Chains A and B, each alone.
Chain A
Amino acid sequence: MADVAIVGFAQAPNVRATPGTTNGVEMLVPIFAEVFERTGLSKKDIGFWCSGSSDYLAGRAFSFIAAVDAIGAFPPIHESHVEMDAAWALYEAWLKIRMGEVDTALVYGFGKSSAGHLRRVLALQLDPYLVAPLWPDSVSIAGIQARLGIDAGLWSEKDLAEVAARSRADAVRNPHAQLSGHVEVTDLLDAPFVADPLRAHDIAPITDGAAAIVLASAERARDLVERPAVIAGIEHRVDSPVLGARDLTRSPSTEAAGRAIGVDGVEVAELHAPFTHQELILREALGLDDQVRINPSGGVLVGNPMFAAGLARIGEAATQILTGQARKTLAHATSGPALQQNLVCVMETRD
């Protein structure tokens, strides 16, 4: 089976609100142009297109069909869509290249969270018969998860604030970030609770954004860029939706995905942790020690475009290789309440 590599990545600014439509077209057109420029490809060179987005976030049915207008899809294209973060669209595109059906693919994701009340929208992912009617929102569920970890002695509120402070400091060098700057942990801990024990800095900001990645077979990739990020492994798993039926302080699906790939030798990891404590859960699940540089981009705590943020983690981790800053990196994407579904992708340079 053909090896697959990432050869280009672009993302829209991670802003609090865009004036554009919920179908993402205004955010996608510029970043398609950017990845084409970086790879020297054009739309007619793309063998397969795959996107990730959500109708509920867009507040309408078939938002991904309108997004196709960003492509200019005539003559007709070979295209598919997942109602998931676009990291899983990348997985589908990886299959198509791996089986030899195409040798290039463009993957994109978009989300305009500012169009609705994200906390309440995400409550509609819960069991519609028994749980959703109570409207437990996404931040409150994460608060329960964070509290369980504190009560079990796994982390403290100070540990969480340190994750936030590091993320914002790293984001100073990230021009796409919504939040950045040098903050003192003690100042962060003076802030009021949003959902006890979570404070504003513990929660990813509401973000509008989009991301695009170009994939190519490893063979084709060598002709396109100097240092393609070859996918060494990509795996994903889902955990039970029943919040009371699993240990929320762990992430068995991340553990299983990481184990299936093998994460030894990873220098940098971009983790999709929309809440500070979730970064700690993920580091534990993947067995990442202090030698591994976590979220040099600042991660999603500085900008979290729903349905694009997981794909952007893969893009950020790939960029480390494309720019020669690292030889082996890891990216993680999550979906669902309290880290229910997780994907892990390990990339490396091949000399």
Chain B
Amino acid sequence: MAKQLAAVLGTGQTHHKAKRLDVSMPGLLREAIDRAMLDAQVGWDEIDAVVLGKAPDLFEGVMMPELFLADSLGATGKPLLRVHTAGSVGGSTALVAASLVQAGVHRRVLTVAFEKQSESNAMWGLSILPPFQMPVGAGAGGYFAPHVRSYIRRSGAPEHIGAIVAAKDRRNGALNPYAHLRQADITVESVQASQMLWDPIRYDETCPSSDGACAMVIGDEAAGDAVSHESGAGGAAWIHATAMRTEPTTFAGRDQVNPQAGRDAAAALWKQAGITDPLSEVDTAEIYVPFSWFEPMWLENLGFTAEGEGWKLTEAGETALDGRLPLNPSGGVLSSNPIGASGMLRFSEAAKQVMRRAGDYQVDGARIALGHAYGGGSQYFSMWVVGSAKPAV
């Protein structure tokens, strides 16, 4: 018997802030979970299993926090899984939850991802020096800046492309009531005037550090069919394709600007979704852009454009909310970055678009959307394609 159909029944997220000192970890998670269950109109007795994802445990200072969270996740007495695949974890977690339905094991699964960086110190968590490994010593920005410089040299992109992305994503974030940074008045010029952090990445081109959580309820075909179309909203977000790929952090000849793992994952994804021309067939995409320049880099890696051409789409305004391929209409990682949840936010924001539940940043006529996440040193990739209609078999 083949893979079963699965669909997103509802989504929820917290208000994202630098420090959510008003809530404990259980409180933060329940804010997202309760919204997702309300959105999906399901009760606890209808949840068969729970899948939790987050980035390194050192970020909160709790070993395997899903264990102490079992009661507040509503998981007690049920199956509980904990996923950790670096920055892509929010996406991978959603894919594991989808697998439980696609494999015919469960009917409805709750999945949640979070990071509460204010509980510990992420820079400390990332700064432990294991033996035999080159220390990065400059955080993620210092790690990725050379990749960005390499991209600019290879593609010949003009210097202001990064600022265009940052201004666009932050203005989109201003339309999103849950976003951490909401900067309606930001401009390309103001981004370019901000402090240089890791050449060529400026302060306004970097993601914030956020506390936050994201949750989804994923269900089978019957559960997806039952999602209400009331009050102008669409139905469930049907999962059309999923893909994950990994490659090692370092090896001779590795292309860190346009990694093979990302290209392979995208190729597998489009094939599974029956998409031959992603730029024409995908209506909107939520992709993992923690530093502005990753928008054109991932446009190419995902196959939306040829190599070296991604920045032209950005420069032409085609990735803006009213463009040909609106990218990160929610504001993306540049507007909210609860690390472990950032990938799931991309996946759930893609779902919200095809469910017509994206509010002020709804992309008109969005029927096919991409959710994308990456992690580690651009080496972990997870992605899905969701649609407003069931996939054509």
Binding site for B on A (CB under 8 A): 1-2, 21-23, 49, 54-56, 58-66, 68-69, 72-84, 88, 91-92, 95-96, 98-101, 121-122, 124-129, 131-132, 235-242, 252-253, 256, 335-337, 340-341
Report the separation of the CA atoms of residues A21 and B125 in the bound assembly, to the nearest whole angstrom.
Answer: 18
Question: Is B276 interfacial (CB-CB < 8 Å)?
Answer: no
Decide: A56 and B63 in contact? CB cutoff 8 A.
Answer: yes
Interface size in chain B (residues, C-beta < 8 A): 67
With A64-B84, A81-B83, A124-B61 as contacts: A98 and B104 at CB distance below 8 Å = yes
**A239 in contact with B246 given A84-B64, A99-B4, A101-B3 (CB within 8 Å):** no
Does B78 sit within 8 A of A, measured CB to CB? yes
B99→A99 contact, CB < 8 A = yes
Q: Are A241 and B57 in contact (CB under 8 A)?
A: no
A234 to B84 CA separation, bound complex (whole angstroms): 22
B362 at the interface (CB under 8 A from A): no
Known: A68-B246, A80-B96, A82-B84. A337 touches B57 (CB 8 A): no
Chain A CB within 10 Å, residue with most, of B78, B92, B103, B376? B103
Q: With A1-B1, A128-B61, A256-B77 given, is the CB distance from A98 to B71 under 8 Å?
A: no
Instruction: Report if B297 contacts A (CB, 8 A).
Output: no
Contact B247 A76 (CB under 8 A): yes
CB-CB under 8 A for A95 and B3, given A61-B56, A83-B84, A124-B62:
no
In the complex the two chains form, is B82's CB within 8 Å of A59's CB? no
Residue of A nearest to B3 (CB): A99
Take A56-B58, A83-B84 as given contacts and tell me if A124 and B63 are in contact as well, using a CB distance cutoff of 8 Å: yes
Query: Which of A79, A82, A99: most chain B Cβ within 10 A?
Result: A99
The minimal Cβ–Cβ distance linking B259 to chain A, given in whole angstroms, is: 8
B67 adjacent to A337 (CB under 8 Å)? yes
Question: Which residues of A sit under 8 angstroms from B3, Cβ to Cβ?
Answer: 99-101
A138 CB to nearest B CB, Å: 11
Establish whether residues A98 and B103, one from each chain, have CB atoms under 8 Å apart when the complex forms: yes
Give the A-binding residues of B (Cβ under 8 A).
Answer: 1-4, 24-25, 55-65, 67-71, 75-86, 92, 95-96, 99-100, 102-105, 119, 125-126, 128, 130-133, 244-249, 251, 254, 259-261, 264-265, 376, 379-380
What are 16 A-to-B residue pairs whose CB atoms are below 8 Å?
A58-B130, A60-B130, A61-B55, A62-B376, A66-B133, A69-B248, A73-B247, A74-B251, A78-B244, A95-B105, A98-B104, A99-B3, A125-B64, A127-B68, A239-B76, A240-B70
Given A124-B62, A128-B61, A237–B68 Cβ distance below 8 Å?
no
A55 vs B59: C-alpha distance when bound (angstroms)? 11
Chain B residues, CB < 8 A from A72: 248
The residue in chain A whose Cβ has the minimal distance to the Cβ of B59 is: A61
Whether A74 pairs with B247 at a CB distance below 8 angstroms is yes
CA distance A128 to B265 in the complex (A): 38
Q: Given A21-B131, A98-B103, are A61 and B126 also a contact pair (CB < 8 Å)? A: yes
> CB distance B86 to A62 under 8 Å?
yes
Nearest to B72 among chain A residues (CB) is A241
**What is the CB-to-nearest-CB distance from B82 to chain A, in angstroms, rounded to a whole number?**
5
User: Distance (Å) between the CB of B229 and the closest chain A CB?
Assistant: 28
Are A99 and B103 within 8 A (Cβ)? Answer: yes
In the complex, the chain A residue whose C-beta lies closest to that of B263 is: A76
The reply to whether B99 and A95 contact each other, CB–CB distance below 8 Å, is yes
B304, chain A: closest CB distance, angstroms:
20
* Docked-complex contact B71 and A240, CB < 8 angstroms: yes
B79 touches A95 (CB 8 A): no
**What residue of chain A has the Cβ atom nearest to residue B382's Cβ?**
A80
Shortest CB–CB separation between residue A66 and chain B, in angstroms? 7
Instruction: Give the most central of B62, B132, B246: most A CB within 10 Å.
Output: B246
Specify which chain A residues have a CB less than 8 angstroms from the CB of B62 in the assembled complex: 124-125, 128, 132
Please determine whether B64 and A76 come into contact, CB atoms closer than 8 angstroms.
no
- Closest chain B residue to A126, Cβ basis: B68
Across-interface contacts of B84 in A (CB, < 8 A): 55, 64, 81-83
A91 touches B264 (CB 8 A): no
**Bound complex: CA of A56 vs CA of B131, how far in Å?**
16
Interface pair A54/B63, CB less than 8 Å apart: yes
Chain B residue at smallest Cβ distance from A69: B248
Which residues of the other chain, A, contact B25 by a CB distance below 8 angstroms? 128
For B119, the chain A residues whose CB sits under 8 A away are: 128
Q: Is the CB of B61 within 8 A of A82?
A: no
- Which chain B positions have C-beta within 8 A of A98? 103-105
Q: Which residue of A lies closest to B272 (CB)?
A: A101
Q: A61-B58, A129-B24 are in contact. Are A74 and B248 (CB under 8 A)?
A: yes
- B residues near A126, Cβ cutoff 8 Å: 68
Contacts of A60 in B (CB 8 A): 58, 128, 130
- Give Cα A77 to B96, complex, Å: 16
Contacts of B67 in A (CB 8 A): 125, 238, 241, 335-337, 340-341
Q: Which 4 pairs across A and B sit closest by C-beta, in order of nearness?
A: A76-B261, A61-B56, A79-B246, A56-B63
Nearest CB in chain A to that of B80: its residue: A238
Q: Which of A64, A81, A91, A125 contacts B68 (CB 8 A)?
A: A125
